Amino acid sequence: MSPRLFVAALAAVLLIPSVAARTAIASEGDVECAGFGFDPNAPIAVYEVTQAQKQLNFVKSRSEGPSCPSNAAACRMRAYIMPADVVVVASTRNGFACAGYRGLKGGYTFGWLPAAGLQELTPISNPTAADWVGNWQRAEATIAIKSAPKGQIAISAEGTYGAFVKEMVARGNVRSGTFAATIKPTGDRLTFTDGDEGKATFATDGSCRVRMWLVQATRGKRLIVEDDTQCGGMGMSFTGVYEAK
């Protein structure tokens, strides 16, 4: 849950044609923002809150208000994000964007945000193997990337879902996940399946497919990760924004 919010973690997105083309739970013909689907052919997008905003409040979906999402006061939620916060984007609708933001304590909320308060972060062009190297972290997940022979990188990820939820901890119901691969970076993005060695490919059987890329945000370089939710127990996903520690 977000440390600066009255509620759990937050969400956001922007109105951009390339984003609107993505298949997701929320789409141009939809009024609900309930999460992301995984499309092997269309990555999620990444945005950050502009410096012009004091804060950017989330907006309710239609199921929470008959006129929502809109700029009406009745649609405005108390949850908000701040300038330079980075969010992942699923889709857009009429000036509002459906996205997700994970707080420092692991909470993840999906919702609509006004598009005008966001700006796109595009992938760093053709990063070298050294650019990927680091100990990348977000709440409940760590991805270690090390140099490997022949210009490759070795990737190893571990994560949990529910470690900050008292009820799940008490029931012994915290879920975990992992993935690993050793591949040679090419282009702006990495796409691979858990266990790949040398050759990076997407499996066709839904076995822990992962997509990664780097962006330069106001607060520094970020690793963006998207998976197909098949890399661990129910509810476990590595999708999100990672900082080098």
- Tell me the three-class secondary structure of the chain, residue by residue: CCCCCCCCCCCCCCCCHHHHCCCCCCCCCCCCCCCCCCCCCCCCEEEEECCCCCCEEEECCHHHCCCCCCCCHHHEEEEEECCCCEEEEEEEECCEEEEEEECCCCCEEEEEEEHHHEEECCECCCCCHHHHCEEEEECCEEEEEEEECCCEEEEEEEEEECCCCHHHHHCCCCEEEEEEEEECCCCCEEEEECCCEECCCCCCCCCCEEEEEEEEECCEEEEEEEECCCCECCCCCCCEEEEEC
Q: What is the mean pLDDT of each run of 10 residues along the chain (245 residues)?
A: 33 29 41 82 91 90 90 90 91 86 75 92 94 96 96 96 90 95 93 87 83 96 95 93 94
Structural domains in the chain, CATH included, are 17-120 (2.30.30.40), 129-244 (no CATH)
Query: What is the value of pTM for the model shown?
Result: 0.84
Residue with tokens 């080098």: 244
- What local confidence, expressed as pLDDT, does residue 106 receive? 67
Question: Which pLDDT belongs to residue 16?
Answer: 28
Q: How far is CA 29 from CA 24, 108, 203, in A?
A: 11, 24, 30
Beta pairing class for 220-227 and 209-217: antiparallel
What pLDDT, on the 0 to 100 scale, is given for residue 26?
Answer: 40
Angle formed at CA 227 by CA 223 and CA 232, multiple of 5 degrees: 115
At 17 the pLDDT is 29
Q: Is 202 helix (H, G, I), strand (E, B) or coil?
A: coil
Residue 216 has a pLDDT of 96
Give me the pLDDT at residue 142, please: 97
